[in-house]
Structure 1
Amino acid sequence: MRSDASTERSHANGVVDALLLVTSDPEVDPEASERLTRQLRAEIAELDVEAVGPGVIGTAPDGAKGADAVTLGAIVVVLSTSGGVFPLLVETVRDWLGRSSARHRVSLTIDGDTIELERASDTERRALVDAYIRRHTGG
């Protein structure tokens, strides 16, 4: 998933916007998916982030009567580029996915760079996550 939404914030002020898109298992009813997304948002809010809230992707088409499924699963996180918060965010998402028995997928986008986390072996997921963290922490 590549998003055209603005997730970029200047690193000069020490913060960055991260956009998480939760794509729910198609077999999970929408109400349960929304509840799970709120649970993930609450877990992220417990981290030392600047802000977390529901995200809006693009603009609604003319005549639309509600949010679409992608927008419902969007979470925007504003976090410091220092202090180790970013790896904690990624670990929180990984842990949330691991606890879920459903087949959810989470896309994490920072500065146009997207990683998709879903069911993969622990080794595969660890290698992808470690490389992504290194790209965004300079480590």
Structure 2
Amino acid sequence: MTTEVIMRVDERGADSRRLRELAEELQADLVVRGVDDARLVRRDDTAVGARGFDPGSLGVLLVSIQGSAQALLQLVESARAWLGRGNRPRAVELTIGEATLTLSDASADQQERLIDEFIRVSSRS
């Protein structure tokens, strides 16, 4: 079973060009880490727009993973590693269906609790 994850990146003070660069950077990182598919969302992507996301949003990826909790955990860990490489405060929002997880500058313990809950809720869908 394939699970689609919408990932939105942000960085304090980033303009539209920078958000696109960040999304491309994360996309390349996810592909290297073995994610099934990761693509930039284009302005005319109605599939993402139908899920309640503005398809004109910048810094948005549509990621496909195998529907296991382990694959989701690997995706989240990849996002956390990417967050740690920035010079400015960054955030990554992951959405599966109605469940959303935002990773940012929270403490490691706080992030672990949020990740565990997100994986638990997402694995039920």
TM-score of the alignment, normalized to the shorter chain, above 0.5: yes
Count of aligned pairs between the two proteins: 115
- For each residue in 1:58-98, what CA deviation from the matched residue of structure 2 results, as whole angstroms up to 9, or x when unmatched? 39xxxxxxx85xx2200000111138221110000011112
2:63 is the alignment partner of 1:77: yes
Partner letter of residue 20 of structure 1?
M
Is the 8 Å Cα contact of residues 16 and 78 (structure 1) preserved in structure 2?
A: yes
Describe the shift of the 1:137–1:47 C-alpha distance in structure 2 as closer, same or farther (beyond 3 A).
farther
Computing the radius of gyration from Cα coordinates, the structure with the larger value is: 1
- Unaligned 5+ residue runs, structure 2? none
Question: TM-score w.r.t. structure 1 length?
Answer: 0.71
Distance 1:100 1:110 in 2: 25
* Percent pairwise identity: 27
Distance 1:83 1:58 in 2: 26
Distance 2:5 2:88 in 1: 24
Cross-structure match for 1:24:
11
2:65 is the alignment partner of 1:44: no
- For each residue in 1:28-57, what CA deviation from the matched residue of structure 2 results, as whole angstroms up to 9, or x when unmatched? 454333222211111111233331101245
Distance 1:108 1:76 in 2: 10
Cross-structure match for 1:96:
82
Distance 2:97 2:17 in 1: 31
Structure with the bigger percentage of strand = 2
Distance 2:69 2:10 in 1: 29
Cross-structure match for 2:103:
117
Is the 8 Å Cα contact of residues 48 and 85 (structure 1) preserved in structure 2?
A: no
* Aligned-residue RMSD, C-alpha: 2.2
